[in-house]
Structure 1
């Protein structure tokens, strides 16, 4: 994520293993593929976080997890994992207008032969 001369808060959820219908080859299009998904959401910060600061001043981490799991339609085929990342980003933006940037990293676990990470990272700012 791009750093700026302003204060911000980043919420992170890393290494969620999710099965998603995705792929371009015939052997990929009928069965869900295992993806490892990580999300970083940059938020506008509150002026201060005191011990009594309510959750509405931040964001629930579980919202990020939801965007990468339950919010992905299980019956929808995504040709590219880039489309999966777009869907997650759109979901996070819809959840909370305090989020001004979202970064999604997706690793296609089925491509790994020796533990390497093969995939994409996509970052979008709110427009």
Structure 2
């Protein structure tokens, strides 16, 4: 059975708190900044998911968490958080060729004064 145009599977990991060396201002470049990172990865799906469907028909959620945490290079300063998002997206595309699109939302927690979310969302499709 062929999956329909509207069929999709999106894996999500939301609100990871990660400290990353990032920023362009002198007060930002010395210490890691706290970021809140959320990831949505769209996958090619199986024709149907039965109770005994193997994990290979989907993706391990922990791979997304890894891409936004331990896979970020230690000691590397990312001038822009857009570059952090791009690194996460590249890592996820390298992990699994079933991933067709990735969206990464990054909120710079240090900029929040009253709970507002200041940051970016970057989405890329597989090329």
Say which SS state the counterpart of residue 27 (structure 1) adopts. helix
> Which residue of 1 is the match for residue 80 of structure 2?
80
TM-score by length of 2: 0.96
| Runs of at least 4 residues off by over 3 Å | none
> Which residue of 1 is the match for residue 34 of structure 2?
34
TM-score by length of 1: 0.96
- In the alignment, structure 1 segments of 5+ residues that lack a partner are none
> Which residue of 1 is the match for residue 112 of structure 2?
112
Once the two structures are superposed, what CA deviation does each residue of 1:54-100 show, in whole Å capped at 9, x if it has no partner? 00000000000000000011210000000000000000000000000
Aligned residues: 124
- In the alignment, structure 2 segments of 5+ residues that lack a partner are none
Q: How does 1:92-103 map to 2 (within 5 A)?
A: 92-103=92-103
